[in-house]
Amino acid sequence: MRRPPRREGGAPRRPRVPPPEAGVERPHYRQRFAPGIGPEPIPPAAPPPPEPPADAMPLFVATKNPGKARELAAMLADAPFHVVGPELIGDLEAPAEDGATFEANARKKAIHYSRLVEHLVVADDSGLEVDALRGEPGVRSARLGGHAASDADRVRLILSKLEGVPWEERGARFRCVLAVARRGAVLETFEGVVEGRIAFEPAGAEGFGYDPIFFYEPAEMTFAEMTAVEKNRVSHRAQALERAAGWLADWARAKRR
């Protein structure tokens, strides 16, 4: 599997909690650092990518999660593929996600759906790993609290488990493994990881899942406070897809010959 490079160390900065002193206005995170000092701010939002070419090849994205489907489609919009799947996958039998690792689940889903559709299939499994919870919820991220639990329910459950845990011990990461398959065989896998910490309370209204409590230190805000464009530049899923992009482009060119 192609894995991301190890993250360089560095002293973490504290989040925007507790709140600033009364009467002290905090600058927006883009204005907080002079050029060359502190973390590199996220660049301004880029214009939306162009529509895929008319001869783009279909790429089946295997997920029933609407938030994940939107992210994957947006990040693949400038690739030589036409993303399909979310509107069709409800009619297909889903495999049990009972693997012990993200890679096992991604492989299982990719193989399963590649036997049901003619297209190249991209499937991923991803989730949150919290250090103070010994890596939980991990592969259970989407099922934490039971199948009836909402995103808000799962956020509250994580916060309750971390009650009293100090900031320095609230390290966490989002991990994603993406598998590409066709006709029942996995062709390649890619992994992406983004490090952060669990905030003391939710913040932001964007994204989905655990985004409101995942504090991304380089931007000094949660994923849910970031725009979709900003998040898609640094997220675990974006990293996995970035590593897959070259491989997918080469695969498409080879098939056109």
Give the integer Cα–Cα distance in Å for 145 and 190: 28
Give the integer Cα–Cα distance in Å for 142 and 94: 15
Query: What letter would DSSP give residue 90?
Result: G
Q: Where do runs of H (alpha helix) occur along the chain?
A: 66-75, 102-114, 151-161, 228-234, 236-256
Asked if 153 is an active-site residue, the reply is no
Q: Which residues pair with 83 in a beta bridge?
A: 59
Report the half-sphere exposure of 191 (CA within 13 A, side-chain side): 17
Among residues 78, 98, 124, 125, which one is catalytic? 125
Give the integer Cα–Cα distance in Å for 108 and 53: 31
- Catalytic center residues: 125
